[in-house]
Amino acid sequence: MSEQPLGWSDVETIFPYRDKLFVGSRSGMFVFDNSDPNKPKLQGRAQHLRACDPVVADNDFAYVTLRNNNIGCGGTVNQLQIYDISGTNVLVPKITGTLDMPEPYGLGYSGNTLYVCMGAKGLNIVNVSNKAKPVSLKILTDSHFIDVIPYNDLLIAYIQGGIALYDISAPADPKKLSTIQN
């Protein structure tokens, strides 16, 4: 086991995907080659104005949320950003689409559906089949959503006060199964 200094602070998330690590920080998204887990190497970056910056990725795209209402993060933007990271674009990710939304926090994806937490504003279910034009399909407002993990047909949502479980066998239409309170 070894350590790899990142060279900057304010890391929000680290998302491993295949041989890459996607690091979301308050100043941008950074892509590392992780083919040698003992020595990740910076491959590319997409920098933005200061904001909280969770990130997830799939084969050719990275999904980033920027939030401006956090004293620690600063920033001026509340939006989902989609980056093309295919081929050589991983070196300089290219933004393909955006979707403004209030207070985006953590996010997760399953197929062509993104689940974007918006704190007290709910959970935004977003269709990303067209990477240039993400579309908000519906917003669940039954909880204060902070982060999510899609796992097969289950969405595990970290909510204020506990965890909520949703059936996402129909990805665009989550159904609450249960809540586990702290």
Strand partners for 32:
21, 42
133 lies in the same domain as 180: yes
Q: How many domains, the chain?
A: 2
Regarding whether 46 and 7 lie in a shared domain, the answer is yes
Per-residue pLDDT, 73: 58
Give the domain-ending residue among 100, 133, 164: 100
Domain boundary, last residue among 100, 124, 159? 100
Asked whether residue 55 falls in the same domain as residue 137, the answer is no
150 and 88 within one domain:
no
Whether pTM exceeds 0.85? no
Q: What is the greatest pairwise CA distance in the chain?
A: 45
- For residue 68, count other CB atoms closer than 10 A to its CB: 17
- Asked if residue 117 and residue 68 are part of one domain, the reply reads no
- Tell me, yes or no, whether 81 and 40 share the same domain: yes
**pLDDT on residue 75:** 63
> Are 25 and 92 found together in one domain?
yes
Q: What is the pLDDT of residue 146?
A: 93
pLDDT recorded at residue 37:
86
Residues 90 and 9 in one domain: yes
Instruction: Specify if 105 maps to a domain.
Output: no
- pLDDT tens digit at each of 182 positions of the chain: 566 666 555 777 788 888 888 887 776 788 888 999 888 888 887 765 555 657 888 889 989 888 876 555 566 788 999 999 998 878 788 999 999 999 898 999 998 999 999 999 999 999 999 999 999 999 999 999 999 999 999 999 999 999 999 999 999 999 999 999 98
| Residue ranges making up the domain that contains 175 | 112-182
Domain boundary among 40, 69, 100: 100
* Residues 17 and 94 reside in one and the same domain: yes
Q: What is the pLDDT of residue 69?
A: 64
90 and 138, same domain (yes or no): no
Give me the DSSP letters along 81-128. Answer: EEEE-SGGGGTS-EEEEEEE-SS---EEEETTEEEEE-BTT-EEEEE-
Residues 124, 93: one domain?
A: no
